[in-house]
Structure 1
Amino acid sequence: MGRDAELEWLAGLLDSVRAGTPSTAVIGGEAGIGKTRLVAEFTRALGPDVRLVRGQCVDLGDVAAPYSPIKGALRQLVAQVGAERALDAVGPGRAALMALLPELAAVDGGPAGEVVITPGGAGSGQLHEAVAVLLETLSRDEPIVLVIEDLHWVDAATLALLRFLLRSLGSSRLLVVLTYRTDDVTRGHPLRSFLSEAERDRWVERRELGRLDEAEVRALVGTLVVDDALSDQALETVFRRSDGVPFFVEELVGIDGCRDEGFVPDTLRDLLLARYERLSDEAQELLRLLSTGGVRVPHALLSEVYRGTEPQLESAARESVLYGVLVIDGDDYAFRHALVREAILEDLLPGERARYHARYAEAYEAQAAAGGRRLAAEISYHWMGARDPIRAFPATIHAMREARAAVAYATSARLGERALELWDTVPDAAHIAGMGKLELMGRTASQLRHAGEGERSLALVKAALAECPRDDPQYPRLLRDKAQYLANVGRDGSIPLLEESLAAIPDDGSDASEELRATVLTALAGRFMIEGRTAEAVETADAAYELARSIDFPRYASVAMNISAVSRAARGEVDRALVDMDRAHALAEGDGAALLRYWVNASDLRYLVGDHHEAVRLAEEGLARARAQGVERSSGVILASNAVDPLFALGEWERADALIERALALDPPGPFRIYLQRAKLWALVWRGDAEHAAELLRQYRAAMAPVMQVEMQTRLAVGRVEVEIGLATGDLPQAWRDGRGVLDEPVLPLAGYAEPLLWAVSRVIAAVRADPARVGEAEASEILAAEPRLREMLGRLSFWPTHGLWAALVEAELAPTAAAWQAAVDEASRESAPQFLRPYALLRLGEAQLDAGDRAGARDALQGAFDAAVVGGVTAVQTRAARVAMQAGLSLDGASRRDGLQGVAGVAGADDAGDAVAELTARERQVLDLIAEGLSNRQIGERLYITGKTASVHVSAILRKLGASSRTEAVYLARATR
């Protein structure tokens, strides 16, 4: 009733799915508003061409069973298509699917419950990928509607999987329908962030159901009371007391037809319990027992926990169904509404509640002993409800292991935290758990880290270290873990912790000690490499390699050799580095984690030395292996993102853009996200949308800062983009602040990343020398005085294979003669140079020739810049070349006045700068006049009695509207129209 628009909306989404566009409908609303009824009406009308599967989130307190609604839906899907078809459809992910549904192992020829995720796989990413592939493959046969209800009770593992599915199933015919109760999603609920993220996805639509108006309530009552119409007074009473909530309307009408207001309960609780309280004592006891088990309970389970005879159970159940408290759904008994169940549950006496929970716990233990399903989470929950920590503890430990086996890291971590809370209440807890408390703390911290809970993992490992004696075998492991967790959250301090861990490892020659030593040495070498301490990185990595080889530990031998190669390259031993990287590849053969690290670092190294085609080939080779391992949309996407920079260098902008957007949509880990964001910003600058890049940079800065602090590579790469954004938007003071740090690096910076940044900084120096008024007097003096330091730093990096290119560009920027820019053009024309640099160098050559009075030469150079920029997609250079030619009165083939004024005012059909000037506000015209006087943003602010930040906003708007790349150009374009 009153949901025609919503039904039409869902039907429209299904039509889109049939046509090949996946969709997700998120339906929210308060309790009783009709979410389940709406979904039921929609699914009832599905045609035979659609496959329907459902999942139900379960209320198991703070720690629900991992993947419970997903497993329920997938079991339905397997039952519909057959286990053989499902395993064939999932392809390389069959092991991961069997880890989720262990009963499939019997079909595959293995023992049920013994399947584990393949070594070197990507954990939860591999499982997520398996589910995605299964749904996508089967949806090609028939569209699939996947319904997950009561998302407010969702477990963390399911939420992570749903987040992945919504972003990755772009080529499927899948309609996901999610429902949740809005009044249960309070501040801090994990569903809040999920809903916020989902709304930004173009395939997700969210609606909240509203209450019925008076006319709709009257119509609803008319469908419920068919034998005798209610009086207007009774109808008004129903509307007023129900407040337009459909479930309450039904309950009110269900009380003797609600013909007398004296029958209307005073409170919501009384209303919810009205039907229940009219039942016999036997039926009420059954409902109290049933409410302890959940919203729905299978008949077989209810028979196990019920203490009466089977006829008594059937009689009480039949009575409850007749009175409209229960409904029968297949083999399950379910409450007609969760609100009724919650009201009955709250009515239980404490002792009664504990007894019922104990019965369920014992019944689940019996089922688990019989085999077939993982039920430890349910057992733990019910023993906790029974207030029996001694029996809850082993179940919790078992549930933690089950969740870990299913790579449900967040659930495993929460169960670990529950076990730690119970530890001191359980006699001989270490014996029961099979591990000491410190080991349990360490494992729980590890699960928190895998679940993305970096700060909580760090806090727990700190607590473990505080309790751990220094001579305990766990001490060096905990130190190593703390170092890793610090790095994960972007904090420094990892190196001293790893060194302390190394010193604490017993020198007893045992396999365990030597393996731990190899892992710590490798981790330490990696941190040295990331922080740019290349000499120490090489020495430590070589030691780690020798140790790993001596104890036959090929994974760490490969990783150590990989780190050594990258570090040797950073100090100029490029030829040996390339050879050693090949050795790392051979050592990694068959090990997914080591291979992934090889492809990432090998492709990056090839890019930095100018071998862009090989860099792309290596990244694609890694992606092919990821596809074979069933992790194409998780680890594979992250690996593919490493091809972005070489693709940019080759001028394949669209292909690189697609990789960036695809990878960002899948929510990669923090550092990878920053690498992708940095690439996105850089592309926006060179494709002519610097203002958008500046806006995004303001959003990204806070997240980038901690990673930049501990990773030199990120610090240099992001620094370059920040400087180029400042240059493109005319904010030279900010560009200088963002770039000057490279001149003060405590160790020699990584040449492959440092030289492009030094070039960007040289452009700032050149711009300030050309127009010192664009910055303050003191800052201009500081910037111009930095040139000798920049030249000295560049000279120290002369060992790098691409040094000639960057040195020529820097020299031309700082001494901009036609000869210097011709030399830069020659270097930028080499195959190893990024393609976008040649049109830029030609542009600058044309400008230098104009300054020298060589108009013919300038025209040829600008024409070359324009043509190369058009072919290479370098929009920023194309626009600037056309504008420079227009201002000089030179005509370029293929260029129009519109090219020279691209982006002006953002108005379709703008043909000249005069239109753009007309778009300026009165305040912007005032600011433009002060720009013409050479005032800085701060000085403009003082003159107009506004803040310097506000002045900067006005300047940015002026540059955008005029299509100018600098303040000077803005003044020129404005004057040209007067």
Structure 2
Amino acid sequence: MTSHLIGRDQQVRILQDLITRTLDSHGGLALISGDAGVGKTALAATAAQHAQSRGLLVLNGACWDPGSAPDYWPWVQVVRALRSGASATAWEAGNEIGSSLSIMLGETVMAEPDEFRLHDGVTTALVSAAHHQPLAVVLEDLHWADAASVRLLDFVARHTWFERILLLGTYRDLEPVWHEHPVHAVADTLLGKATTITLTGLGRDEVGTLMARHTGHEPTSDLVSEVHRRTGGNPFFVEQTVHLLAAGDEITAIPPGVADVVHQRLARLPAAEQHLLETAAVAGHEFHRGVIAALSSNPGSVERLLPDLVAARLLNALGHGRFAFAQDLVRETIYRGLPPRQVCAAHAAIVHAVTRHPHLGASTLPSELARHAQLAGTAIPAGRAVELLLAAADDADRRMAVDESVEHHRRALDTVPADDARTIVDVALRLGTRLRRRRGRSAADAAFTRAAAAAREVGDALLLTRVALTVYRRDLTGEDHVGLQLIREAHDALGLAEAPGRRESDRDGGEEPSTDRLLQELATHGVVEARRHRDDNALTFALRALHDVTWGPGTAPQREVVTTELAQVGHRTGSTESDQFALSLRWVALLELGDARYLGAHHEFVALAMSRESPRYALAAILDRAIVATFHGHFEGADALLDQATGHAGFDQHWTFVVDHLRWALRLMQGRYAELDGLHARLAAHDPRHGQLVAAISTVQRGDVPTALRHLVESSGQAHPYPRIYVPLWLRFQAQVAAASGRRELCQQIRAILQPYVGQWAVSLYGCDISGPYQHWCAVLDAALEHWEDAIVGFTAAGEAAERLHSRPWSLQARAGLALALIGRGQATDAEAAATLLNDVERESIEVGMNGLVEHIRQARAPAIAPVTAADGAFRFDGQVWQVSYAGRSVYLPDAKGLGDLHQLLSCPGQEVAALRLVERDHVAATAHLGADPVLDDAALAHYRRRLAQLDEHIDWAVARGDDGVAARHDGERAALIAQLRSAVGLHGRSRRLGDDAERARKAVTGRIRAALRRLEDHHPELAKHLNATISTGLTCTYRPPTKVSWELR
């Protein structure tokens, strides 16, 4: 290519070769560096012109001053250029990646992104377009680039190396800002893969040639030497000097720095034009003429002066009323030359103008306005500056610019006056919340610590309470020790331990109140105080906190009351945020109560969330729709919604956790067990205990009962195995593992714990987990206990409850359980009814996609309702003599306890039967399920105590609200539980020990069975051989034949 550039022939050849390579093979990355004005832009423009002439599609993007442009701004320009410049086919091919490009263009508002997905989307669009036409992407002034744009450049460079895409960037490597900029952090990586072109000043002869080009005649040798000396060969400085010389200035009037050159040139302008440029320099590199006009004492003159400045090449017209400085060095020089007081006043004037004229707000980015407010210093009240910085942070959240949002919050926190404790607390909590959700726990804790310090400094107990509740609520694991300390500190500061309504046992010598109790008292106190002071903002916070800390089985009525009041406050204050929050949780409370109105409340929330520009609630609506889709059995729709939510959740710790849990619940319901392990690992990375719990549920559902029992034993030994938001899920697991193990005492204990919640649904994690009706799990335990009538009634009720709420999956599970209970009861028509029911459930389960339930039905059907055939053997007892038959031979033996033990084991092949149960078949041993281990007995007592504590809270709640009827019912249950608890302990309240009885039972049963087998060796060797090979004894005994053996047992 022929270049008009002077002194850049070698650099032009390098770029020419890269363009040729891009056409023939692949592109790459080229970086042009150098000082300001050295010709980087001119060289890049020349390369772009040549690329365009060779058939490449050129896409341009320029970076702005740091802090005044949104994240990804240069790439927004590139994507816009791609859309306008590429062929329709190429654009459509690239845009198939979905929402990433529309989000970057500002056409879609969403929650925080998955940065990888966004980067991949842009890269895919470029690659797709390059398959139709080679590309040259030119990014100017990378020294001003935001961190997100730099990471995207690095990503694109890595993933397009072998595509026909040439990436060309310019940056000032000698700028002081460069060494503090995020570009510098990845410079080595970029430079390592880039073709680097470093521009320096022109030589003396080249300066002379450049001067001659601009003046039209050859300058003298002395003049060239002087200009070269003064400018260092910087083309821009040379050009500026030549312009001044052409205007009549002497060489001696040319100062050594560009600032003086610019000042002299500006001095030649009319005063009105100078003043306009000064105002524009404060407005920024790019500005809207309306802002300048609003600040002018003569707005009409602005329309006249702007074209003159464009003609003078000081400004460029961008269209739509926007202009930009032709050289940013000019703007910088003007700006730095203004008196500080004038600069602050001008920034403040811009803020006031945009505020007074709403139409200007549409053309002013929130980040620009926040920058002006901050640079205005004391000319703008600190409170207003903080307000604008927080507005910019919210805007950044909507645009998925996470780094930008955090930075705005940090600046806001730095701007808050030191004596404004309330605002410090508010901003610090906002910052800490965002940092924690981004997995920046240490930085988040620092922000929370500052909030707590501010509250302590002013001695405001209510403010400290707000900090404590916020910090603790932000951690779902329940292991936030900093939060626990704050809770106790706030509780003491409020003097709640000495409150008149507190029971004497709590104040004098009683057990220390639980964390849940302290949280509820803090939140309740906050509600009472907010109502008393008629402070709706404080009431909103306190009600939300009260809802969260109240969560647990049996608390849905209280939570529905809270959400109703919260909605009323939202209506009163016009807060859509409160409305949305209340609706999002009201439908959950209604579902938990088994109230079919939940679906209407759910639809109302989704409609409201999708109608407002609230990315967080838009994502919440998607997730809620996925929850309900799974609940209704629309699995494909749920999967699609979770895929959509995955892209929106991005790196947000909370939302990623929610998506993973919902995916786990869906896969478990589908019976796609092979996909669960990866989800267990991801959930455990967020919260190890949560990961262990869901893995244990998956384990018992897959049939690995011993592993699930180990988790039950280990967890039950802890005082508080799981936080209250997990308790329903924990109860579901206990019911499943108890029933699967067949351990009667464990089944009875869990059945008693679940009984108070019959009629409600097991809902955990603020509605993110729906584990079926408690009635269903009671029926499962009844079936395990062979209480067939209770199981049939329970499964019938559970199925009806599921039908009322349109939950096809839980209806199918209840109907399957009902069929198996009918088989277990074994009345005249039960087998036929069960067979019909199982056939219907199997067919519908296949339709829905519940493969696990289908397999369960098929496994249960074969032995349960297979046609009657001749038995392989028999154990019959007439009250005195046993008739035993096997392999075609029968013998008669006198009664012996060992034969009775064998009869019991043969009746449940493959199941473990406790030795203690065999010893006392007519008497349920208190500790048979654990043999010599007392842990589960302790766990049961812990359950009783937790339920008593919960009843105390319910009673307090009812009394506070004046509901004596509810208080009386809870008090009756409390008295009954205390009576049961007394019967379950020994003298002086000591728990019964299990080991002695279990060990004696093991020895007795082992001896009895061995004696019976020895007798059979004498009388029926074939049967003795079979039983010796298939019977195992110990604390538990089992009959496990290698193949199915049919026994007639009477």
TM-score by structure 1 length?
0.51
Query: Compared with structure 1, are the counterparts of its residues 7 and 599 closer, same or farther at alpha carbon in structure 2 (3 Å cutoff)?
Result: farther
Separation (CA, whole Å) in 2 of partners of 1:727 and 1:42 = 64
Which residue type is aligned with residue 869 of structure 1?
S
Q: 709, 727, 736: which one pairs with 1:763?
A: 736
Q: Which amino acid aligns with 2:445?
A: L
- Partner Cα separation in structure 2 for residue 804 and residue 43 of structure 1: 72
What is residue 996 of structure 2 aligned with on the other side? none
Gaps of 5+ in 1: 11-26, 81-138, 152-156, 200-204, 218-240, 258-271, 307-313, 346-351, 424-432, 508-516, 518-530, 709-714, 770-782, 892-932, 935-967, 974-978
1:497–1:367: structure 2 CA closer, same or farther, 3 Å change rule? Answer: closer
Q: SS where residue 678 of structure 2 aligns? A: helix
1:366 paired residue number: 346
- Following superposition of structure 1 onto structure 2, how do residues 460-471 of structure 1 map, counting pairs within 5 Å? 460-463=447-450, 465=452, 470=456
**Deviation for aligned residue 1:500:** 3.4
What per-residue deviation string (whole Å, max 9, x for no partner) do you get for residues 582-633 of structure 1? Answer: 455444324323222321221111222233x4323212201222234333x4
Q: What are the residue-to-residue correspondences of 1:391-410 with 2, within 5 Å?
A: 400-406=386-392, 407=394
1:790 alignment partner in structure 2: 750
Q: Secondary structure at the match of 1:634?
A: helix
Does the alignment pair 1:597 with 2:581?
yes
Kept in 1: contact 2:635–2:849 (CA 8 A): yes
d(CA) in 1 for partners of 2:370, 2:53: 37
Post-superposition shift, 1:682?
1.1
Post-superposition CA distance 1:878-917 (Å, at most 9, x none) = 24445666899979xxxxxxxxxxxxxxxxxxxxxxxxxx
Give the AA of the match of 2:801: E
Task: Specify the alignment match of 1:830 in structure 2.
Answer: 800
- Post-superposition Cα deviations, 1:658-716, rounded to whole Å, max 9, x if no partner, equal 333333322285444433321211111222321212112212311134xx6xxxxxx5x
Pick from 457, 467, 483 the counterpart of residue 494 of structure 1.
483
Aligned position for 1:674: 657
Query: Is contact 1:641–1:676 with CA below 8 Å preserved after alignment?
Result: yes
Contact 1:445 1:460 in 2 (8 A): yes
What letter corresponds to residue 790 of structure 1 in structure 2?
I
Task: State the alpha-carbon separation in 1 of the partners of residues 241 and 653 from structure 2.
Answer: 57
Amino acid at match of 2:848: G
The Cα of 1:863 is off from its aligned counterpart by: 1.8
Matched, 1:876 2:852: yes
CA, structure 1 residues 276+420, in 2 after alignment: closer, same or farther (shift >3 Å)? Answer: same
**Following the alignment from structure 1 to structure 2, what is the Cα–Cα distance between the partners of residues 797 and 608?**
10
User: Is the 1:842–1:861 Cα contact (8 Å) retained in structure 2?
Assistant: yes
Q: CA deviation at 1:40?
A: 8.9
* Helix, strand or coil at the partner of 2:808: coil
Partners of 1:541 and 1:445 lie apart in 2 by 20
Alpha-carbon offset, residue 722 of structure 1: 2.7
Deviation at 1:788, TM superposition (A): 5.5
Does the C-alpha gap of structure 1 residues 571 and 559 become closer, same or farther in structure 2, counting only changes over 3 Å? farther
- Residue pair 2:31, 2:196 contacting (<8 A) in 1 also: no
Q: CA deviation at 1:846?
A: 6.6
1:498-577 alignment runs, 5 A limit: 498=487, 500-501=489-490, 504=493, 543-554=525-536, 557=539, 570=552, 572=554
Residue 553 of structure 2 contacts residue 728 of structure 2 at CA under 8 Å; is this kept in 1?
A: no
Write the distance in 2 (CA, Å) between the matches of 1:754 and 1:687.
23
Contact 1:647 1:653 in 2 (8 A): yes
Amino acid at match of 1:680: R
Do the aligned residues in 1 keep the contact of 2:488 with 2:518 (CA within 8 Å)?
no
Give the CA deviation at 1:181. 7.6
Q: Find the counterpart in structure 2 of residue 134 from structure 1.
A: none
**Do the aligned partners of residues 169 and 557 (structure 1) sit closer, same or farther apart at CA in structure 2, a change above 3 Å counting?**
farther
- The equivalences for 1:613-632 within 5 A come to 613-631=596-614
In structure 2, distance between residues paired with 1:719 and 1:412: 34
- Counterpart position of 2:781: 810
Contact 1:29/1:180 (8 A) holds in 2: no
Counterpart for residue 659 of structure 1: 641
Q: What are the within-5 Å matches in structure 2 for residues 683-762 of structure 1?
A: 683-705=666-688, 721-728=694-701, 732=705, 735-736=708-709, 743=716, 746=719, 754=727, 757-762=730-735
Cα 1:419–1:808 change in 2 (3 A) is: closer
| Contact map agreement 2:346 2:376 (CA 8 A) in 1 | no
Q: Which amino acid aligns with 1:404?
A: L
**Does the CA-based 8 Å contact 1:53-1:144 persist in structure 2?**
no
CA distance in 2, matches of 1:583, 1:397: 31
The alignment status of 1:641 with 2:623, answered yes or no, reads yes
Pair 659,867 (structure 1): closer, same or farther in 2 beyond 3 Å: same
Distance 1:165 1:822, change over 3 A: same
Native 8 Å contact 1:31 1:181 kept in 2: no
Q: Is residue 587–residue 599 contact of structure 2 (8 Å, CA) maintained in 1?
A: yes
Could you tell me whether the CA contact under 8 Å between 1:64 and 1:377 is conserved in 2?
A: yes
- Of 548, 573, 591 in structure 2, the residue corresponding to residue 607 of structure 1 is 591
SS of 1:494's partner is helix
Q: 1:232-311 alignment to 2 at 5 Å?
A: 245=195, 275=235, 288-289=258-259
Q: 1:849 to 1:211 in 2, by over 3 A?
A: closer
Relative to structure 1, is the Cα distance of residues 816 and 399 closer, same or farther in structure 2, using a 3 angstrom cutoff? same
Alpha-carbon deviations, 1:528-565, whole Å to 9, x = none? xxx99776666665554443333333465567667768
SS at structure 1 position matched to 2:687: helix
d(CA) in 2 for partners of 1:572, 1:742: 22
Whether the 8 Å contact between 2:348 and 2:372 is mirrored in structure 1 is no
| Corresponding residue of 1:865 | 841
SS of 2:649's partner is coil
Contact map agreement 1:752 1:800 (CA 8 A) in 2: no
Unpaired runs of 5+ residues, structure 2, are: 1-15, 34-42, 85-94, 130-134, 168-190, 208-231, 244-253, 264-272, 282-306, 355-359, 397-402, 500-512, 762-772, 868-909, 912-1038, 1045-1050
Aligned to 2:432: 449
| Alignment check: 8 A CA contact 2:370 2:385 kept | yes
The whole-number CA distance in structure 2 between the counterparts of 1:43 and 1:364 is 44
Q: Is the 8 A contact 2:842 2:857 kept in 1?
A: yes
- For the pair shown, the structure with the greater C-alpha radius of gyration is 2
CA root-mean-square deviation: 7.1
When the two structures are superposed, what TM-score results if normalisation uses the length of structure 2? Answer: 0.48
Taking the aligned partners of 2:258 and 2:467, their CA distance within structure 1 comes to 47
| CA gap 1:554/1:416 in 2 versus in 1, 3 angstroms | closer
Q: 1:277 to 1:497 in 2, by over 3 A?
A: same
The Cα offsets for residues 724-756 of structure 1, whole Å up to 9 and x where unpaired, read as: 322355655654455557746757989996456
Classify 1:358/1:391 alpha carbon distance in 2 versus 1 (closer, same or farther; 3 Å). farther
Identical columns (%): 14
Counterpart secondary structure, 2:800:
coil
1:459 to 446, 454, 457: 446
- Give me the whole-angstrom Cα distance separating, in 2, the residues matched to 1:9 and 1:609: 66
Q: Which segment is superposed worse, 746-755 or 786-795? A: 746-755
The CA distance in 2 between the partners of 1:615 and 1:845, in whole Å, is: 26
Q: Does 1:481 align with 2:467?
A: yes
Quick check: 1:723–1:760 contact (8 Å CA) kept in 2?
yes
Name the structure 2 match of 1:58. Answer: 64
SS at match of 1:31: strand
Matched letter for residue 483 of structure 2: S
Q: CA deviation at 1:315?
A: 15
Pair 1:39–1:800, CA change in 2 (3 A): farther
Q: Equivalent residue for 1:309?
A: none
Return the alpha-carbon distance in structure 1 between the equivalents of residues 160 and 257 of structure 2: 31
